[in-house]
């Protein structure tokens, strides 16, 4: 019995040591010389693969933050619907993948101050007569959305049927091929798809923004020191115009770093 108690006590101490004390990630970053963040890798122009490298607005934001931390950036990708689970499991220091601040997410992660602002946009196929579907026409229609995003609720609010995909490369392809009636995504993502992907010229933005979103980095709730330092850096990047410059680079001159 005493042996079992000792074994259990040792196991508990081992687990606690593995978790580390609150705010420990900042020191870990400094010691390792690496700031590891994650995104989906399928969300152009924010984070996407180009010549086997992850690039985009989020990635450049990560490089700017890492520079201020005095370390290198390690940007990894994973399925969107598993990003929060991976963060809580300690697989990376933060999520830097255009994640919107919501009350539901704030129950399990902590968010920095916003690094950009955007919103939900409905996209449909362009009709020759100009009579394309409007938001008020979407009741009973199918709308492609990325799994576990806020866009699911947007589709439901239009009384449409959400159809789930892993990333927006898939959602827009399905719309172009006529398998769904619409896509709801970020407005800037939609504009890039219309302007750059094959068949995008046959798509059109439908209506105004469905709602405005504030995008931020997500960290573990006990990472108080890291959260404080990231807030300082992001605020400095805004004040010095660096976030505006990154935005203009990736969004055809548009500055989405400000409301």
pLDDT at 257 over 90: yes
Range 156-165, long-range pairs (CB < 8 A, 24+ positions): 157/210, 158/122
Name the pLDDT band for 24 (thresholds 50, 70, 90).
Answer: confident
Looking at the DSSP assignment, which residues form a beta bridge with residue 118?
Answer: 213
pLDDT tens digits, residue range 105-143?
Answer: 999 999 999 999 999 999 999 999 889 999 999 999 999
- pLDDT score of 183: 98
Rounded to two decimals, the pTM is: 0.81
- Taken in order of first residue, the domains within the chain and their CATH numbers are 21-117+214-250 (3.40.190.10), 118-212 (3.40.190.10)
- pLDDT score of 21: 42
Read off φ and ψ for residue 11, nearest 5 degrees.
-65, -40
Angle at 106 between CA 104 and CA 108, to 5 degrees: 90
pLDDT tens digits, residue range 79-114?
Answer: 999 999 999 999 999 999 999 999 999 999 999 999
As a whole number of angstroms, the distance between CA 57 and CA 110 comes to 21
Are 96 and 158 spatial neighbours (Cβ–Cβ below 8 Å)? no
- pLDDT score of 68: 98
Are 147 and 164 spatial neighbours (Cβ–Cβ below 8 Å)? yes
Please give the structure tokens belonging to residue 56. Answer: 């985009």
For range 249-258, the mean pLDDT: 94
Read off φ and ψ for residue 102, nearest 5 degrees.
-135, 155
Name the pLDDT band for 259 (thresholds 50, 70, 90).
Answer: confident
């Amino acid at each position: 019995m005493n042996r079992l108690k000792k074994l259990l006590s040792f196991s508990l101490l081992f687990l606690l040591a593995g978790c580390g004390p609150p705010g420990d990630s900042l020191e870990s970053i400094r010691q390792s010389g690496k700031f590891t963040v994650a995104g989906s890798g399928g969300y152009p122009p924010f984070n996407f693969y180009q010549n086997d490298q992850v690039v985009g607005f989020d990635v450049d934001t990560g490089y700017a933050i890492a520079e201020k931390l005095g370390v290198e950036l390690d940007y990894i990708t994973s399925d969107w619907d598993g990003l929060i689970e991976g963060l809580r499991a300690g697989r990376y220091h933060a999520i830097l993948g255009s994640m919107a601040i919501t009350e539901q997410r704030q129950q399990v992660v902590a968010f920095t101050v916003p690094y950009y602002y955007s919103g939900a946009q409905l996209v449909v196929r362009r009709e020759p007569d100009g009579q394309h579907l409007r938001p008020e026409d979407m009741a009973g229609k199918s709308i492609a959305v990325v799994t576990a995003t806020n866009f699911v609720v947007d589709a439901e609010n239009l009384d449409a049927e959400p159809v789930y995909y892993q990333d927006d490369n898939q959602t827009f392809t399905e719309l172009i091929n006529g398998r769904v009636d619409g896509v709801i995504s970020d407005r800037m993502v939609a504009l890039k798809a219309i302007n750059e992907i094959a068949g995008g010229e046959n798509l059109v933005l439908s209506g105004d923004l469905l709602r405005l979103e504030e995008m931020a980095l997500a960290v573990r709730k006990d990472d108080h020191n890291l959260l404080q330092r990231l807030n300082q850096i992001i605020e400095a990047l805004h004040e010095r115009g660096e976030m505006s410059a990154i935005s203009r680079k990736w969004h055809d001159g548009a500055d989405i770093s400000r409301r």
